[in-house]
Amino acid sequence: MKKNKISKDWIIKQHRDQYFKNSKSHGYRSRSAYKLIELDNKFKFFKKNKIIVDLGCYPGGWSQVAKENTDKSKILSLDLKKMDKLQGVHFICRDFQKDETKKEVLKILGEKADVLMSDMAANTTGNKSLDSIRTNALTQQVIDFSRFVLKDDGVVICKLFTGQDFLEVKDLAKKKFKKVDFFKPKSSKDFSKETYIHCKGIKTL
């Protein structure tokens, strides 16, 4: 009974959410599409003729925004959960953490990417501290992955959570990239600890 009440409360909140409503009316697959729009308005990383990789792309809201905001760009999206077909986007069902995936990504693209983006979060456990740690571990893996598939002047856009391990992620990013910024979009819910990291320019080690 309690579980049903929580589900109903969640549905009610979603329908009161302006970004949720807008995503439905504009045909976006997720409300998080607006987060990426705000991130691009802030950092200006979408341009024509770019090569873009979307990690953890399901259900495809970020891939939609990438397609809409670039011209003649190549977009490769990856997830363990199959994404419905999106015109102009190449999807592969893969685990980005596996070494063979790095090689496959480069083979498909034919060259390294200009933008690597990720809105991934670990599956929730109900323990906010644990969820934060697990998601930030994913962010660190995205940063490490980017060094294999990203051009020297490339950009990483990735979700992470403030709190535990935040400074560890920040320090890792600053070791790997020349420029590191953080930004919380207005479309991100006020109570959420999520923010986004913007990294640009791989450092030569």
Is 179 annotated in the active site?
A: no
DSSP-derived secondary structure for 50-86: -EEEEET-TT-HHHHHHHHT-SS-EEEEEESSPPPP-
Per-state percent for the chain, helix, strand, coil, to nearest 5: 40, 25, 35
What six digits make up the tokens of 102?
A: 């790095």
Return contacts of 77-84, CB within 8 angstroms, 24+ apart: 77/53, 78/53, 78/54, 78/105, 79/55, 82/58, 83/57, 83/58, 83/59, 84/29, 84/59, 84/60
Cite the beta strand spans of 86-138 per DSSP E. Answer: 89-93, 113-118
| Active-site choice (50, 67, 112, 159) | 159
- Give which of 159, 197, 146 is closest to 43, Cα–Cα: 197
Please answer whether residues 82 and 93 qualify as being in contact, where contact means their C-beta atoms are separated by less than 8 angstroms: yes
Q: Which residues are catalytic?
A: 159
